[in-house]
């Protein structure tokens, strides 16, 4: 058994990341061609939206009391079997097969490219596979974009809670600032709206200005971040946590009290913005910008915290007084950390608002902040790859478990309790994914000069 597992691990380890991505892209191709027919054939009634998980869970009878629930379990199991067959045949086999076949050529191909170009090729492939996979069922695309938004939320909050060791629980407040500022701008500039009237600029501007407006939303949120940064000079720990909660409430109430932008009823019109954008060039703009937004967030935070300047943030977590006495300008560093963190929360908010098409103040309460917290702790404090993983897992779980209705929440929070009891350090335990699987093995970095062909097998 152990022997078998090792062989499997070895087999999977030989395939570079890019080959997996290409394999998955091929699998989505298979799904487009054969998914519908195959799904009907094995009794799934078509293409399952979410690997069959949601559909399987929706077989459960949630309204018939305990008896009803128990009686509905066989029907769920009956669905799971063909769903598994579907996943293996449509996704698993093509991915592994194509991945295995392409492993060698891919290693050769990437070895001829400079590293940044290799990275870009990975990104484009990942984007294409998400686009194709998501394009087949509209709901998937939505979930992919939620994941993106949540990755930005989790990794930006990680800068404060993980790297700097402060406990911020008001991240959604900054998200709200970004969401409202960017939505108001896009709706005012590019759509016919009850509040703002006719569009101010021609449709062509929308595709150019959209990313800039996201940045403006981020900047507004970054400025709001100073509401926490300045108090952080004087107070820390639990007390600063209270400050962040208050800031979250202040922002929410402030928006609620501005009648012009809908007050508590909320604000909409962002779907119109997207229609304007696609009317100019018909590509999935939001997916593109979410994708780029995630990339930029990760690169910025990673580069910042690995610079000597940014490591000042970690020194503050480890011993703030020693940091200040050992030449770290702690105030400056805190302002930087809070501004960068809330800037990205604002960008996430802008994307989120346009994905949803409608926002209202109660979207951005402390509950939303808590979700971001959960993702940070689930992934592991001070681990960016952990935040990426946990944002993916958390978002998918929240969507896939929807059929469980109220029980979904119970289950998710129960998981959190267990996590805090048995693995407080989170999935990654403060390490990065690259500490377990080397970049060379993933095929993202060229192996050292002496080694020819495959990357060395030992990590």
Partner 1 sequence: MPLLQINHLTHFFGGLRAVYDFNLNLEKGELIGLIGPNGAGKTTIFNLVTGAYRPSQGDIRLNGDSLVGLRPHQITAKGIGRTFQTIRLWNNLSVLDNIRIAQFAQIRYGVVDSILHTRRYRDEEKEIKKRSLELLEVFELRHLADEIVANLPYGQQREVEIVRALATKPRLLLLDEPAAGMNPGEIDTLLKLIQWIRKEFDLTIWIIEHQMRVIMGICERIKVIDFGETIAEGTPAEIQSNPRVLKAYLGEEGI
Burial of residue 142 (number of CB atoms within 10 Å: 0-12, 13-18, 19+): middle
Task: Compute the least distance from the CB of residue 436 to partner 1, in Å.
Answer: 17
Q: How far apart are CA 32 and CA 128, in angstroms?
A: 14
**From the CB of 106, what's the least distance to partner 1, in Å?**
26
Cα dihedral sign for 413, 415, 419, 425?
negative
Q: Does 303 bind partner 1 (CB under 8 A)?
A: yes
- CB nearer to partner 1: pick between 116 and 422: 116
Choices 61-69, 150-158, 300-308, 355-363 (CB under 8 A): range interacting with partner 1: 300-308
Q: Show contacts with partner 1 in window 331-370 (CB under 8 A).
A: 331, 336, 340
Size of the site for partner 1 (CB under 8 A): 28
Is residue 116 part of the contact set for partner 1 (CB under 8 A)?
no
Closest to partner 1 by CB, 8 or 325: 325
Q: How far apart are CA 150 and CA 171, in angstroms?
A: 12
Q: How far is the CB of 382 from partner 1 (least distance, A)?
A: 9
372: Cβ–Cβ under 8 A, 6 or more apart, which residues?
Answer: 150, 153, 154, 157, 171, 172
Residue with the two structure tokens 């989120």: 352
Q: Which is nearer to partner 1, 275 or 332 (CB)?
A: 332
Please state the closest distance from residue 375 (CB atom) to partner 1, in A. Answer: 22
Nearest by Cα to 153 from 362, 428, 419, 350? 350
Contact 330, 127 (CB under 8 A): no
Element (H, E) at 19: helix 17-30
CB of 326 to partner 1, least distance (A): 5
Residue closer to partner 1, measured from CB, 205 or 304: 304
299 binds partner 1 (CB under 8 A): yes
The smaller minimum CB distance to partner 1, of residues 192 and 307, is found at 307
Write out the binding residues for partner 1, residues 245-284 only, by CB under 8 A: none
Q: Which is nearer to partner 1, 9 or 309 (CB)?
A: 309
**Residue 335: CB minimum distance to partner 1, A:** 11
Listed ranges 185-193, 252-260, 303-311, 437-445: which one lies at the site for partner 1 (CB under 8 A) = 303-311
Q: Which residues pair with 358 in a beta bridge?
A: 268
Q: 52 — phi, psi (to 5°)?
A: 85, -5
Site for partner 1 in 54-83 (CB under 8 A): none
Which helix (H) or strand (E) element contains residue 267?
A: strand 267-268
Residue 299 C-beta: closest distance to partner 1, Å? 7
Are 388 and 163 within 8 A, CB to CB? no
105 or 430: CB nearest partner 1: 430
Nearest approach, Cβ of residue 314 and partner 1 (Å):
6
DSSP 92-106: IHHHHHHHHHHHHHH
**Binding mask 307-336 vs partner 1 (x if CB under 8 A, - otherwise)?**
xxxxxx-xx--xx-xxxxxxxxxxx----x
Partners of 241 in the β-ladder: none
Looking at beta carbons only, is 186 or 297 nearer to partner 1? 297
- Written as six digits, the tokens of 313 are 């943030």
Which of 257, 307 has the CB closer to partner 1? Answer: 307
Binding mask 388-427 for partner 1 (x = CB under 8 A): ----------------------------------------
366: left (phi over 0), alpha (psi -120 to 50) or beta: alpha
- The DSSP symbol for 3 reads H
Residue 141 or 323 having the CB closest to partner 1: 323
Q: At what angle do helices 2-14 and 93-111 cross, to 10 degrees?
A: 50
Token pair belonging to 203: 């449709």
Cα 223 from Cα 340, distance rounded (Å)? 10
Work out whether 432 is an interface residue with partner 1 (CB under 8 A). Answer: no
State the residues that interact with partner 1 by CB under 8 A: 299-300, 303-304, 307-312, 314-315, 318-319, 321-331, 336, 340, 430
């Amino acid at each position: 058994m152990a022997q078998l597992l090792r062989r499997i691990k070895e087999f999977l380890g030989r395939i570079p990341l890019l080959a997996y991505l290409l394999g998955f892209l091929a699998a989505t191709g298979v799904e487009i061609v054969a998914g519908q027919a195959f799904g009907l054939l094995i009794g799934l009634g078509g293409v399952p939206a979410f690997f069959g998980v949601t559909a399987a869970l929706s077989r459960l009878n949630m309204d018939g009391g305990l008896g009803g629930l128990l009686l509905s379990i066989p029907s769920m199991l009956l669905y799971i079997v063909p769903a598994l067959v579907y996943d293996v045949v449509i996704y698993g086999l093509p991915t592994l097969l194509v991945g295995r076949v392409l492993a060698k050529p891919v290693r050769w191909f990437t070895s001829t490219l400079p590293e940044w170009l290799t990275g870009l090729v990975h990104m484009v492939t990942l984007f294409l596979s998400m686009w194709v996979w998501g394009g087949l069922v509209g709901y998937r695309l939505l979930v992919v974009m939620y994941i993106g938004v949540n990755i930005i939320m989790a990794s930006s909050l990680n800068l404060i809670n993980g790297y700097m060791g402060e406990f911020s629980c008001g991240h959604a407040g900054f998200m709200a600032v970004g969401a409202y500022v960017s939505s108001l701008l896009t709706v005012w500039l590019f759509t016919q709206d009850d509040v703002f009237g006719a569009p101010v600029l021609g449709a062509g501007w929308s595709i150019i200005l959209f990313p800039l407006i996201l940045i403006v939303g981020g900047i507004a949120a970054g400025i709001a971040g100073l509401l926490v940064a300045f108090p952080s000079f004087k107070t820390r720990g639990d007390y600063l946590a209270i400050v962040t909660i208050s800031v979250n409430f202040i922002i929410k109430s402030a928006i609620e009290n501005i009648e012009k932008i809908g007050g508590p009823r909320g604000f909409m019109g962002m779907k119109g913005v997207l229609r304007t954008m696609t009317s100019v060039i018909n590509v999935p703009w939001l997916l593109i910008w979410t994708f780029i937004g995630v990339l930029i967030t990760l690169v910025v935070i990673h580069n910042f915290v690995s610079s000597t300047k940014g490591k000042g943030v970690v020194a503050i977590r480890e011993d703030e007084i020693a940091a200040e006495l050992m030449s770290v300008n702690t105030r400056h560093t805190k302002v930087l950390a809070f501004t960068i963190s809330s800037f990205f929360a604002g960008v996430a908010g802008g994307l989120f608002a346009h994905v949803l098409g409608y926002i209202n103040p109660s979207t951005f309460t402390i509950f939303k902040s808590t979700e971001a917290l959960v993702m940070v702790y689930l992934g592991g404090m001070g681990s960016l790859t952990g935040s990426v993983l946990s944002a993916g897992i958390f978002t998918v779980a929240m969507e896939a478990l929807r059929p469980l209705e109220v029980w979904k929440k119970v289950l998710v929070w129960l998981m959190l309790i267990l996590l805090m009891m048995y693995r407080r350090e989170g999935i990654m335990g403060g390490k990065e994914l690259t500490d377990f699987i080397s970049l060379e093995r993933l095929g993202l970095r060229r192996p050292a000069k002496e080694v020819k062909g495959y990357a060395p097998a030992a990590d």
